[in-house]
């Protein structure tokens, strides 16, 4: 047997004299229940400040870490997304009717007013204009709802844009017109007390924490004494 190899008895003796693993650290409250492996450190363990301090005193949700959603915000979301859905369904109904040449003149109110020839340049231009218009009608309330959900004060101005974008529903059919009162309700809710509190909470949460400047003592100007 080579010199670098040890016998089984020697290895057994080595294991027998090896130090035992550290006992679990006692619980901080003085109980005898183990709280992990190893000994508790002698120095103080730095921890994060309380949640209220981290969020500048703003009450936040434990699940999302964001301000609590208010009832006015939830109602606003329902109104704006319902307005977008009404505009989209109204356009879909118009498109379904316009697919059939026999009912093209009755596909939308504006088509009946202008009465373009099906397949002509006027009808093609009108169809393209209505397609571009419905993008704004559906997109404006969705953008306003999203900005309100994320706590942006811009949502109040966008709510008026969403209301204006819903008004062209009067060119389509009664289903598209339903978006107008829904968008109006959303614009009113954007200025409700619950929304104001929600926007204030987001503004306080996004505000940078005030920092105190520490000069670190008096500042010496000129040549240092050791170099004089």
Query: Could you count the other beta carbons within 10 Å of the beta carbon of residue 105?
Result: 18
Span 122-149, average pLDDT: 95
- Average pLDDT of every residue of the chain: 81
User: What pLDDT was estimated at residue 1?
Assistant: 47
Whole-number Å distance between alpha carbons of 227 and 216: 22
Instruction: Tell me: pLDDT of 102 over 70.
Output: yes
Any residues with CB less than 8 A from the CB of 189 and at least 6 apart, and which?
72, 75, 76, 79, 195
Q: CA dist 20 to 12, 29, 109, 184, Å?
A: 15, 26, 88, 74
User: What pLDDT was estimated at residue 52?
Assistant: 47
Lowest mean pLDDT among 46-50, 136-140, 148-152: 46-50
Backbone angles phi, psi at 13, to 5 degrees: -65, -35
- Torsion sign, CA atoms 213, 217, 219, 224: negative
Confidence band (pLDDT; 50, 70, 90) for 100? confident
């Amino acid at each position: 047997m080579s010199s670098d190899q040890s016998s089984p008895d020697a290895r057994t003796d080595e294991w027998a004299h090896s130090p035992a693993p550290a006992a679990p650290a006692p619980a901080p409250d003085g109980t005898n229940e183990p709280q992990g492996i190893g000994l508790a450190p002698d120095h103080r363990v730095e921890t994060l400040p309380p949640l209220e301090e981290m969020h500048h005193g703003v009450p936040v949700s434990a699940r999302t870490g964001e301000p609590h959603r208010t009832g006015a915000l939830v109602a606003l979301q329902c109104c704006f997304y319902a307005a977008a859905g009404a505009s989209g369904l109204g356009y879909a109904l118009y498109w379904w009717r316009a697919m059939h040449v026999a009912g093209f003149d009755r596909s939308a109110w504006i088509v009946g007013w202008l009465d373009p020839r099906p397949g002509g340049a006027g009808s093609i231009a009108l169809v393209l204009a209505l397609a571009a218009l419905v993008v704004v009608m559906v997109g404006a309330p969705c953008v306003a709802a999203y900005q309100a959900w994320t706590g942006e004060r811009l949502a109040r101005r966008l709510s008026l844009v969403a209301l204006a974008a819903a008004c062209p529903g009067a060119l389509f059919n009664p289903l598209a017109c339903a978006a107008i009162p829904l968008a109006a309700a959303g614009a009113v809710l954007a200025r409700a007390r619950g929304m104001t509190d929600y926007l204030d909470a987001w503004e306080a949460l996004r505000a940078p924490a005030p920092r105190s400047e520490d000069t670190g003592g008096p500042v010496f100007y000129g040549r240092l004494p050791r170099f004089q």
